[in-house]
């Protein structure tokens, strides 16, 4: 995969703050409505603005690209554009960068088109960026798997016997995906308060977040044709922040032997801006050494972890000051996205444009780097002290969780924006 717009020296005629998530080196894609009565369309974020790609296409701005004859941006989702593949992605990304470059007057000095195509980000409403047919959630952080296994199972055998041999995952519910800012209704389900008592039906009392990165599939594969690690990057369109909300008491009672079900399927939130894989390429780093050696279909060449700083903040209904719960980095993930996609298709399973697969909870090795309240509070045994004197073991009604992520270096920052969700009470 190539990318000709990632030059760290590039600047835009749109003023972009030094600490902005969205410089010209990023150009993440999203779907937005500029006003309630207006149809949704595709845009990119640049600084504090959204650039309407549908309006640019109507004006002939993409006449030199492979999509000159078809306005793929006058759509309510990114799927059709995703399906066109990396050559088209790179050509369009290069053209957008060219239009925004400081020394290019083509859009800068065209006031009529500029007024039609530029919106302040706070004035638009973001939509789900893609129609997701299938959603997979992996379990790829060794630190998280060890912590969770120690709490749910025998600490001496925290990792399942297959964990070091394959990326464990489960199929989530695409219909429960929502875009940030989200409202998450506290789910009800079967819980087992004590080991000796039968289960009861009640609202979860152990509502949790999970800090993850999600990857959108661009080009699909044919059924029966696995995607190799050598080719996987060509199939990945971009990445988002992802919160796989979890009801730990429901999960703990139901998950054996088939894994997560109702404890996970009620809600999953993603950030609205899809950061292109091309924008993340300069921030690739080596992953952990995998021992024992993986099977041949999971081997890969090069560095395919990403140095993404991640944070989680919690604000309660009573206190306006947020508390940072987590500061960690995606670079330590044991199973990388190429391996995840290769494993998901090794049996011939089909991926389609817009399908989503998630990393699983990202945790580090230190107490301040844990990616879920299950780990931070040790399943409720150690309350978390918050700003203003409140404490939490798990999320309460009115709490707002905000996730942030970014890569930084070379004089610029590639950010994801925010993935935010607020907890609503369970239905009566």
Q: Which of 57, 63, 144, 171 is catalytic?
A: 144
Structural Rg of the chain based on CA atoms = 22
Q: What's the number of CA atoms in the CB half-sphere (13 Å) around residue 56?
A: 30
Q: Report d(CA 242, CA 235) in Å as an integer.
A: 19
> CA angle at residue 108 from 102 to 110, to 5 degrees?
160
Q: Report d(CA 359, CA 310) in Å as an integer.
A: 13
Token pair 């947020």: residue: 322
144 classed as catalytic:
yes
CA distances, 420 to each of 62, 209, 264, 403, 404 (Å)? 34, 11, 17, 6, 9
* DSSP class of 121: G
Q: Which residues contact 8 (CB under 8 A, 6 or more apart)?
A: 25, 282, 410, 411, 412
Per-residue HEC secondary structure of 281-327 comes to HHHEECCCCCCCCCCHHHCCCCCCEECCEEEEEEECCCCCCCEEEEE
**Inter-residue contact 52 to 117 (CB < 8 Å):** yes
**For the stretch 302-324, what's the b/e string if a residue is b when 16 or more beta carbons lie within 10 angstroms of its beta carbon?**
eebbbbbbbbbbbbbeeeeebbe
Q: Which residues are catalytic?
A: 144
């Amino acid at each position: 995969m190539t990318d000709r717009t990632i030059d760290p020296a590039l600047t835009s005629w749109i003023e972009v703050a030094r600490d902005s998530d969205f410089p010209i080196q990023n150009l993440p894609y999203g779907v937005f409505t500029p006003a309630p009565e207006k149809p949704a369309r595709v845009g990119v974020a640049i600084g504090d603005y959204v650039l309407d790609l549908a309006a640019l296409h109507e004006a002939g701005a993409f006449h030199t690209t492979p999509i000159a004859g078809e306005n793929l941006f006058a759509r309510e989702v990114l799927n059709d554009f995703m399906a066109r593949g990396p050559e088209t992605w790179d050509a369009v990304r290069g053209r957008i960068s060219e239009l925004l470059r400081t020394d290019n007057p083509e859009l800068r000095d065209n006031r009529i088109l500029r007024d039609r195509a530029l919106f302040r980000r706070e004035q638009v409403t973001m939509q789900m960026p893609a129609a997701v047919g299938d959603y997979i959630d992996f379990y790829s952080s060794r630190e998280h798997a060890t912590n969770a296994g120690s709490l749910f199972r025998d600490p001496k055998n925290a990792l399942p016997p297959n964990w070091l041999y394959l990326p464990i995952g489960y199929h989530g519910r695409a219909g429960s995906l929502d875009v940030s800012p989200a409202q998450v209704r506290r789910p009800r389900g079967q819980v087992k308060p004590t080991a000796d008592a039968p289960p009861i039906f009640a609202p979860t009392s152990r509502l949790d977040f999970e800090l993850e990165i999600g990857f959108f599939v661009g080009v699909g594969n044919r059924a029966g044709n696995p995607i190799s690690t050598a080719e996987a990057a060509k199939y990945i369109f971009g990445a988002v922040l992802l919160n796989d909300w979890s009801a730990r008491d429901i999960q703990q009672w139901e998950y054996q032997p088939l894994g997560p079900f109702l404890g996970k399927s009620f809600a999953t939130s993603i950030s609205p801006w899809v950061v292109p894989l091309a924008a993340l390429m300069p921030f690739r780093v080596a992953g952990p050494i995998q021992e024992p050696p993986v099977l041949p279909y999971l081997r890969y060449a090069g560095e395919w972890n990403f140095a993404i700083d991640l944070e989680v903040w919690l604000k309660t209904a009573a206190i306006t000051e947020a508390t940072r719960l987590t500061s960690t980095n995606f670079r330590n993930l044991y199973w990388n996205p190429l391996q995840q996609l290769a494993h998901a298709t090794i049996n011939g399973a089909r991926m389609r444009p817009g399908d989503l697969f998630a990393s699983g909870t990202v945790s580090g090795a230190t107490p301040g780097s844990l990616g879920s309240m299950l780990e931070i509070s040790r399943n409720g045994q150690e309350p978390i002290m918050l700003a203003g004197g409140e404490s939490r073991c798990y999320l309460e009604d009115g709490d707002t969780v905000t996730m942030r992520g970014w890569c930084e270096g070379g004089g610029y920052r590639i950010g994801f924006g925010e993935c935010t969700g607020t907890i609503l009470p369970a239905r009566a």
